[in-house]
Amino acid sequence: MTQELTVQLAGTKREKPDQANLGFGRIFTDHMFMMDYTEGQGWHDARIVPYQPIALDPSAMVFHYGQTVFEGMKAYLTKEGRVFLFRPEKNMERLNRSNERLCIPQIDGDYAIEGLKKLIDIDREWIPTAEGTSLYVRPFIIATEPFLGVAPAKNYTFMIIMSPVGLYYKEGIAPVKILVENDFVRAVKGGTGEAKTGGNYAASLKGQEIASEKNYSQVLWLDGVERKYIEEVGSMNVFFKIDGEVITPELNGSILHGVTRDSVIQLLKHWNIPVAERRISMDEVAEAYRNGKLEEAFGTGTAAIISPIGEFLWNDEKMVLNGGKTGELSKRIYDTITSIQKGAQKDEFGWITEVPVSK
């Protein structure tokens, strides 16, 4: 796909936020990327425009039937002032996997990355500099055709918006408390669990709300059929270190193909730490805990990179790991990945894409 990218710069630039209070996902940069799809014509009118509200027909299909997909990745500023993206091609690959499941037309991932680089370059000064901060990038596609009928839409809009964000947890890497969910399920095999689509997140809200009321920050989802096997945690994949081996649920069709998950597996293999992708039940985890063999557990995701798990509540059994402290392996992985992202450590894996400065 070769099409011209037009750029309309914002007339006035908005004030930059206080870097100490960025939070997550509430502040947006001056510009955004847009591109439309029309059946018979394909993707067209790629453009960078000032960040602004969009007008949609109330009958736009996304509002009624949820035909939408999204992605999440980050841009990092190095000490030398260079801007790095972490494995953006994996996000575009996953976006197309989600598109396939949701009957949304494929996008050209390379073209989208070129558009993203240009967008980041224009809003370069929005990338925060404080320790642990970054620029969160949210590509997404919505069905815009005005039609009340359950069918794949004939029109879509692809957009990229960006938000300067602080550390996901104020303390940086801090253990979280997890409630194992027995009643609600997030996804089932054959459903849309593997796709990054809004409905999966809407389906997760109720369980998450109940967990929060009990003072647990995230939910661990079990499989939708037997409520036995571990799927993932909130918006993270999950890993367990049992008796020296690291185990993570296999990509079984109902969990997300996490980019951080894939990176962690590569790192563990590189370090010669045994790692297995396989089905793992909550019974097995609890048994390991009771036998003193559950050494660590952690979630992986773009937002927090690594979230050590300090506690699980499963039925009435409370399992406290590592005295509620961050485990050694969690810390080592977190330090390595964040150092590569920030350019403080050599990228031996080909994970970094630099955003060039335009002349």
Ligand X SMILES: Cc1ncc(COP(=O)(O)O)c(C=O)c1O
**Which residues lie near ligand X (CB under 6 A)?**
72, 232, 235-237, 256, 258-261, 300-302
Q: How far is CA 272 from CA 78, 118, 244, 269, in A?
A: 29, 39, 11, 5
CB closer to ligand X, 146 vs 253: 253
Q: At closest approach, how far in Å is the CB of 302 from ligand X?
A: 3
Angle CA 85–89–95, to nearest 5 = 115
Q: At closest approach, how far in Å is the CB of 48 from ligand X?
A: 24
CB closer to ligand X, 30 vs 232: 232
CB closer to ligand X, 235 vs 341: 235
Q: At closest approach, how far in Å is the CB of 264 from ligand X?
A: 9
Residues 6+ apart with CB under 8 A from 323: none
Q: At closest approach, how far in Å is the CB of 30 from ligand X?
A: 25
Q: At closest approach, how far in Å is the CB of 80 from ligand X?
A: 26
CB closer to ligand X, 263 vs 322: 263
Site of tokens 């994949």: 237
CB closer to ligand X, 60 vs 305: 305
Q: At closest approach, how far in Å is the CB of 52 from ligand X?
A: 26
CB closer to ligand X, 300 vs 330: 300
Q: How far is CA 166 from CA 95, 222, 267, 336, in A?
A: 25, 30, 25, 19
- Report residue 330 as tokens: 């969690």
- Report residue 126 as tokens: 């929005």
